Amino acid sequence: MKLALPLILVGVTVGLMAFGLAANRRAGGTVGVAEGAALPGLTPKSSTPEQGLTNLLSAVRRHSWDQAFSIISKSSGIDEPSFIQGWIGSNGSLRSFSNLESFDSRPLHITNDEAYFRVRLRWTTPVGPVDDVRDFRLLRNGETWEVVWPKTQVSNVPAQVIPVTYLRWDLVTGSAKDEWGSQNVDAPRVRIISMNAVDTAEGAVVMGEVVNEDTIPAFINVNATLLDAKGNAIDDENSFDKIAHILLPKQVTPYRIDFPNFSLKNVQNVRMNVKAALVPASADPVIGVMNQKVASDAQGESILQGDLFNESGQTVNIPHVIASFYDSNGKVIWVSDGYVDRALLPQSSEPFAVQIPQAVAAKVQNFHVVVNQYSLDRS
């Protein structure tokens, strides 16, 4: 009898775990954990390409790197540290601060020995959720399916001296507490040069451009207030990160302000307000924007793609691209932004892409790109 109760408890526990796994399969699975096991010892065998891919991504989601790497085909020619680095990032990049939250996949082509899948990965990051679409190739090895992992090109910057010729503005104040965003001097002259309000499926959007008309740098933010027919405020929002906050003299930045779940049919007017503060700034690092063009991504959606080139000798840990799109009359009809998840090393380049709504893409006649940059050693 002494052993009866422990045996009964073990039996009930195993039964509940089996029931839970079976229920998960019958329910179709949570996106990104479909038919995946939470415990390594219970991971289903990769007997199908779908299960092999799910096992890999579920292991990556849990940071079970040994288990994830065991699903990688030896034909990939990649070692485990390089494989891990491809997922967790390096050099203080955005990927270094991100976690894989979920995923969903769809087959592109499957034969008896080879399979291709397109996967949408959803990451949680400090700047909000980020989606990434990748194609995966799997090969059958006996009774199991393995993922062929592509080799990534890592920038190898040779030792060199980069001459520093950029402009810099220092702020000298009476006390240390006024060093940044000083309020005891006149604020820089900045001006909203355009504004356009539109309705979208997600809500109302106010967008346009701001210029720094002064000879000193400015830290800016744009606020918008929706007003009803009686002049009462309906909602108030700001540009948050959809703007280049630090503007050098004569520089122009786009801005976008989102009002989720609001419609302009209930809005009589929009009150705009731009705030500026004097800050120290420099024109370095210089980031060149090259090879820009409107194209279609793997999902058939319109994007603006190109390359960012770091012309300086400093690492840009998190590049942030903001693009404004214009119609034939030069009116701003959309502002889109996106983060590059790999660090931009000195004298090296990284690709970027930002989305363009389908309703806007056909009207785009021109575009302008600005780049925010976040560097850990200066944050």
List pLDDT tens digits, range 328-374.
999 999 999 999 999 999 999 999 999 999 999 999 999 999 999 88
Query: Are 304 and 215 part of one and the same domain?
Result: no
Kindly state whether residues 42 and 72 are assigned to the same domain. yes
Q: So what's the pLDDT on residue 184? A: 64
Confidence tier at 322 by pLDDT (50, 70, 90)? very high
* Amino acid found at 360: V
At 200-244, the pLDDT tens digits run: 999 999 999 999 999 999 999 999 999 999 999 999 999 999 999
pLDDT at 249 over 90: yes
Residue 217 belongs to a domain = yes
* Same domain (yes/no): 109, 54: yes
123 and 66 in a common domain: yes
Q: Where are the alpha helices (DSSP H) in 27-99?
A: 49-61, 65-69, 80-88
C-alpha–C-alpha distance, residues 58 and 43, integer Å: 9
Tally of domains within the chain: 3
* Whether 128 and 217 share a structural domain: no
Query: Could you tell me if 306 and 82 are in contact, meaning their C-beta atoms sit under 8 angstroms apart?
Result: no
Q: Which is more confident, 107 or 30?
A: 107
What is the reported pLDDT for 136? Answer: 96
Q: Are residues 270 and 293 in the same domain?
A: no
Query: Alpha-carbon distance 235 to 291, whole Å?
Result: 39
Who's near 290: CB < 8 A, 6+ residues apart?
A: 306, 307, 308, 309, 349
Does any domain span residue 334?
A: yes
When mean pLDDT is compared across 9-23, 217-231, 276-290, 307-321, the lowest value belongs to 9-23
Read off the pLDDT of each residue in 159-175 and give the average, rounded to a whole number: 79
Same domain, yes or no, for 173 and 85?
no
Record the pTM: 0.80
- End position of a domain, from candidates 229, 259, 282: 282
Give the start-end residues of each E strand in the chain.
99-110, 114-124, 130-141, 144-148, 168-169, 190-200, 203-212, 218-227, 233-238, 246-247, 252-260, 269-278, 281-282, 287-296, 302-310, 318-326, 332-339, 349-355, 366-374
Query: With pLDDT > 90 as the criterion, what percentage of the chain qualifies?
Result: 70
Residue 332's CATH number: 2.60.40.2150
Co-location of 272 and 291 in the same domain: no
Per DSSP, what are the bridge partners of residue 339?
A: 320
Give a yes or no: residue 291 inside a domain. Answer: yes
Is cis: bond before 285, omega within 30 of 0? yes
Please check the confidence at residue 66 and state whether its pLDDT lies above 60: yes
Kindly report the average pLDDT of the chain as a whole number.
Answer: 86
Neighbours of 26 (CB within 10 A): 8
Same domain, 264 and 297: no
| Residues 278, 178 share a domain | yes
Range(s) of the domain holding residue 79: 29-148
CATH number of the domain within which 54 lies: 3.10.450.100
Band (pLDDT 50/70/90 cuts) for residue 34 is very low
8 A C-beta contact, residue 224 and residue 256: no
Helices and strands in the chain, H and E counts:
5, 19
179 located within any domain: yes
Average pLDDT over residues 81-97: 93
Average pLDDT over residues 146-172: 81
Residue 308 lies in a domain: yes
User: Nearest Cα to 346, choosing from 318, 308, 315?
Assistant: 315
User: Which of the listed residues 234, 253, 282 is the one where a domain comes to its end?
Assistant: 282
Average pLDDT (247-254) is: 96
Asked whether the beta carbons of 217 and 169 are under 8 A apart, the reply is yes
Answer whether residue 246 is part of any domain: yes
Question: Quick one: 219 and 304 in the same domain?
Answer: no
Q: Does residue 40 lie in a domain region?
A: yes
265 & 297 share domain = no
Distance CA 254, CA 371 (A): 11
> Among 5-9, 237-241, 305-309, where is mean pLDDT lowest?
5-9
- From 282, 305, 336, give the residue that closes a domain: 282
Rounded CA-CA distance 304/369 in Å is 10
**Lowest mean pLDDT segment, chosen from 163-172, 185-194, 320-329:** 163-172
Structure tokens at 286: 């210089």
Q: How confident is residue 42, by pLDDT bands cut at 50, 70 and 90?
A: low
Q: Which of 91, 94, 37 is nearest to 61 (CA)?
A: 37
Residue 98 or residue 373, greater confidence: 98
Q: Is residue 14 part of a domain?
A: no
